[in-house]
């Protein structure tokens, strides 16, 4: 296969998935890992992608927020496992905070197994789904973001400052050893930060495709909050385990 053909395949995969891994590109292109690394380097030099640990991601600005429908359509099996694992940590009679995000949503079907649960959420979509499952839910008021369907702003911050949670489950747009957990919007970052501070135990939920992705605003360092994710490679686990406690969903 010609270099141009391989690189076109890489760019087409990025359009679909936003992130591609070397081990997925090998069978698609029939090329060796070293050849693909050179392709990624060439494409990065042309500003067509950004290399990350074990692969590459689309070139997006630090403050760009992918559409909710786009995020909901990818890594569904991983998100289901992560959601089930996170929900298993919840006990009866708890007050928990659920952040906005498609991975967080996969917790909700498993919460019906718990009794006398109160859920606080800043996500309109999550609140609607919780109501469908007849889970006791409270939504603090705030400004509604159209892109993420999350409530943000000073009003919700003031409300959440008066609350405390047994558990907080937080979404993220990316996590890396250098930048920590990040999200494009500082207003959403402020809510995540506050929910973490006001919880007895917080967890960040993210599939492993977000490893090495960095957005504009950091809301926590890796060592501040444990990570619930899907099965990592040995190399990824070894690297991340130096910085944070990892719970792998299986």
Give pLDDT tens digits for 168-206. Answer: 999 999 999 989 999 999 999 999 999 999 999 999 999
| Environment class of 11 (CB within 10 Å of its CB; exposed 0-12, middle 13-18, buried 19+) | middle
Q: What is the pLDDT of residue 17?
A: 79
Of 15, 34, 56, the last residue of a domain is 56
pLDDT tens for each residue of 53-99: 788 887 665 555 665 655 555 678 999 999 999 999 999 999 999 99
Is 61 a domain residue?
no
Same domain, 5 and 70: no
Strand ranges (DSSP E) for the chain? 19-21, 50-52, 55-57, 95-98, 118-121, 137-138, 143-144, 151-152, 165-171, 174-176, 180-183, 199-205, 217-220, 227-229, 246-248
Mean pLDDT (whole number) for 97-125:
96
Q: What is the pLDDT of residue 19?
A: 82
Lowest mean pLDDT among 41-45, 47-51, 148-152, 215-219: 47-51
Same domain, 119 and 200: yes
Q: What is the pLDDT of residue 95?
A: 98
Same domain, 50 and 73: no
Is 35 a domain residue?
yes
Same domain, 15 and 87: no
State yes or no: pLDDT of 11 exceeds 80.
yes
What is the residue-averaged pLDDT of the chain?
Answer: 91
Query: Which residue did the predictor score with more confidence, 26 or 58?
Result: 26
Distance CA 192, CA 180 (A): 13
Is 40 a domain residue?
yes
Same domain, 24 and 113: no
Same domain, 110 and 39: no
| Environment class of 46 (CB within 10 Å of its CB; exposed 0-12, middle 13-18, buried 19+) | exposed
Is 12 a domain residue?
yes
Query: 235: domain CATH number?
Result: 3.40.50.1360
Same domain, 23 and 79: no
Is 4 a domain residue?
yes
| Environment class of 48 (CB within 10 Å of its CB; exposed 0-12, middle 13-18, buried 19+) | middle
Same domain, 97 and 213: yes
Count of domains for the chain: 2
């Amino acid at each position: 296969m010609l270099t141009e053909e391989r690189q076109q395949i890489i760019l087409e995969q990025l359009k679909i998935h936003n992130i591609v891994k070397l081990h997925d590109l090998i069978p698609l292109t029939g090329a060796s890992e070293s050849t693909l690394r050179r392709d990624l380097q060439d494409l990065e030099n042309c500003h067509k992608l950004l290399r990350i640990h074990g692969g590459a991601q689309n070139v997006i600005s630090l403050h760009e927020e992918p559409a909710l429908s786009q995020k909901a359509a990818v890594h569904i099996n991983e998100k289901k496992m992560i959601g089930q694992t996170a929900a298993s940590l919840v006990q009866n009679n708890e007050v928990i905070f659920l952040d906005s995000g498609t991975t967080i949503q996969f917790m909700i079907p498993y919460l019906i197994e718990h009794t006398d649960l109160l859920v606080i959420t800043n996500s309109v979509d999550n609140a609607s789904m919780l109501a469908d499952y007849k889970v006791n839910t409270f939504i603090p008021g705030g400004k509604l973001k159209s892109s993420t369907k999350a409530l943000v702003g000073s009003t919700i911050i003031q409300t959440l400052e008066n609350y405390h949670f047994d558990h907080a489950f937080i979404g993220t747009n990316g996590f890396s050893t250098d930048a920590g957990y990040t999200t494009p919007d500082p207003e959403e970052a402020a809510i995540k930060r506050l929910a973490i501070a006001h919880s007895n135990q917080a967890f960040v939920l993210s599939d492993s495709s977000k490893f090495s992705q960095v957005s504009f605003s950091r809301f926590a360092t890796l060592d501040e909050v444990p990570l619930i994710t899907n099965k990592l490679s040995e190399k990824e686990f070894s690297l991340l385990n130096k910085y944070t406690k990892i719970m792998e969903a299986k």
